[in-house]
Amino acid sequence: MTAVPSTLPAATSAQAHPEAIDRGSALRAAIRVPLIMAWSGLSYLVWLVGRVLTTGSAARQLRWRHRFLHGWSRGVARLFGMRITVRGEPPEAPFFLVSNHLSYMDIILLYTCLDCVFIAKQDMRRWPALGFLAHAMSTIWVNRESRRDAVRVLHEIDRVVGSGDGVVLFPEGTTSAGDGMLPLKAALLDWAARREYPVHCAVIRYQTAATLPPAHLAVGWWGDMPFGPHAVALARLPGFDAEVTFLPSPVRAAERTALAGMARELMLRHFVPLVSPERPTS
């Protein structure tokens, strides 16, 4: 995920979390952050044990990874104080799903209710700890600077869907402030268009209490917000609401530009901006 232009003024982590947050928030973060790290480390060790025990059976390893990711992500969500609401019916694997993209928390949210792997930019693989964990969880990496890489990605998606797994893509290509939806990058939908495969759509939204910084600053991660300070500041919040809506009737088309337009139109019907006229924007 990288910076994205927005109609809103650029925000930093400090702007997103003014000192208006209660003083106990520092203690809250001091407790939560080590717990999240410990939970992730312990969960990974448990996953390794399960992976060894399921060696020799691809189906059992797939079920074990799904079970691990559901448990790990729900634990992380609870530690962050994320209150989850799921609307509509999540698709059953195998599937191909697209969603709008607001924050690194989108991945946690979707892992809690989907059996899937994500398609992500190769840059994320170099992130400390998170990149390692994402790679271990079979993330499909995309090198957008190499056209030749597109062929490999097509084969990877074939393999994942063929194994009975789901694939999740953020076709905006980056995070946004949530004041609108960016155009969907048609090239990222090439696999689904070539096969006229049904594309499921989801819409994500976050909300914070009226006394806290607005969600597009507190939860959303965009512009020049550095990851570490933003995650720590997010852990200072008492909690926040996360909502994912799975839309009925997947779309399909044989041409990727048309497919991108159809998916975006469907998502916009259910998209609610994070920035409310009643809330400050910075």
Tens of pLDDT along 90-149?
999 999 999 999 999 999 999 999 999 999 888 888 777 778 888 889 899 998 777 778
pLDDT above 80 for 3: no
Sign of CA dihedral 248, 251, 257, 261: negative
> Cα separation of 104 and 23, whole Å?
26
**E strands within the chain?**
82-87, 95-99, 116-121, 140-142, 166-169, 200-207, 240-246
Cβ atoms of 216 and 205 within 8 Å: the answer is no
What pLDDT, in 10s, does the model give residues 248-264?
999 999 999 999 999 99
> Cα separation of 169 and 97, whole Å?
6
pLDDT tier for residue 276 given thresholds of 50, 70 and 90: low
Write down the domain spans for the chain: 13-270
- The alpha helices in 81-129, defined as continuous H runs, are 105-111
What pLDDT score does 53 carry?
A: 96
Give the angle 223-224-230 at the CA atoms, nearest 5°: 100
> Cα separation of 173 and 184, whole Å?
7
- The alpha helices in 119-271, defined as continuous H runs, are 130-136, 149-162, 190-195, 215-218, 227-236, 256-270
- Give me 45's structure tokens: 């060790």
The conformational region for residue 178 under phi > 0 = left, psi -120 to 50 = alpha, else beta, is left
What pLDDT score does 107 carry?
A: 95
Query: Which of the 8 DSSP states describes residue 186?
Result: G
Helix axes 24-53, 58-80, angle to 10 degrees: 170
How many residues does the structure list for the chain? 282
For residue 58, give the 3-state DSSP assignment: helix
- Give me 193's structure tokens: 């268009």
Distance of CA 108 to the CA centre of its chain: 6
Cβ atoms of 99 and 189 within 8 Å: the answer is no
Overall pTM > 0.75: yes
pLDDT tier for residue 24 given thresholds of 50, 70 and 90: low
Q: What is the pLDDT of the chain when averaged over all its residues?
A: 88
pLDDT above 50 for 163: yes
Cβ atoms of 185 and 112 within 8 Å: the answer is no
